[in-house]
Structures are given as C-alpha cells and as structure tokens.
Amino acid sequence: MRIESALSRHNHFNAFHWIDAMLAGKAKRSQRILKQLSAEGVEGVILLRTLQKELNTLMTYQKELKSKSLQQVFDQYRVWNNKRPLYTAALNRHSMQSLYQIWSELAEIEIIAKTDYDTPVWPRLTQVTLSLSQTGALPFTQA
C-alpha cells in the first residue's frame, strides 16, 4: 500500500497530459490520466473546456488541409515542433466528421454538467477519451 501511494504522488497529471495522450493515440494512458484527474477532484467542466479548445484546433487544421500541406498548416499556425507529431497522429486518425461527432458529444456533456448536477460526467468523458484516442469516432451511447 505504501508503494502504491508513493507512486501515486509521483504521477501527478494535468489536463494537458490528458490531451497529449489522446492526441498521441494512447488510449490506456489517457484513460489512466482521466481516472487520476477525477480522483484528484478536477472539475469535469475544466476538462471539457480544455478538450473543446483542442478539438476546435484539430477541426481548423483539418479544414485547412483541404488546400494546404500539413507542414504549411503547422507553419501558418506556428505549432510547436514538439506538438506536431501529436497533431499529425490525431489528424491521421480522424476525419472532420469524426471530430464533429466528438464535438457534439462534448456539447451534450457540457449541458449535463451545467444543468444536471446528479449525473456524473466521468463515464461520458471516458467515452470521449476513447473516441479521440482511437481511429474514428466511436458510437456514443446515451446515458
């Protein structure tokens, strides 16, 4: 038990670690990070807003790719070199349609989080985590 608590203290994650794991396509890691963020009491709405920003960025890049190369898009938006492989992986996995599907699910989760305090958002955030981490958007189930 002491080893477990010591490891837990050293594995401190934040929303940006979660986002990076999803962009990289690391489903298990992103789920583990989300679980820890939940256990630490991070507000689901904060994670939603952070993910909405990243999805908006991905959708913008996906739209730009219709007329430009990936390198041109990254240069135009001044994407950091260490972030380029993450965005490349996510853009290769997801079409505009699957990104929009994830965006729609996030909007539903946000409404629930802000209006129905008795319904936990974590199961649906886990589903979104899987969807963004894997190829294509998974069909969402209504909670």
85-127: per-residue pLDDT in tens?
999 999 999 999 999 999 999 999 999 999 998 889 999 999 9
Task: Please check whether residue 40 lies inside any domain of the structure.
Answer: yes
Tell me: pLDDT of 143 over 50. Answer: no
pLDDT tens for residues 18-29? 999 999 999 999
Task: Dump strand ranges (E) for the chain.
Answer: none
Q: How far apart are CA 121 and CA 136, in angstroms?
A: 22
* Structural domain range at position 115: 15-133
Task: Please check whether residue 5 lies inside any domain of the structure.
Answer: no
pLDDT tens for residues 62-80? 999 999 999 999 999 999 9
CATH code for the domain in which residue 93 is found: 1.20.272.10
Judge contact between 13 and 21, C-beta under 8 A: no
User: What separation, in Å, do the N-terminal and C-terminal C-alpha atoms of the chain show?
Assistant: 34
Judge contact between 50 and 19, C-beta under 8 A: yes
Tell me: pLDDT of 128 over 70. Answer: yes
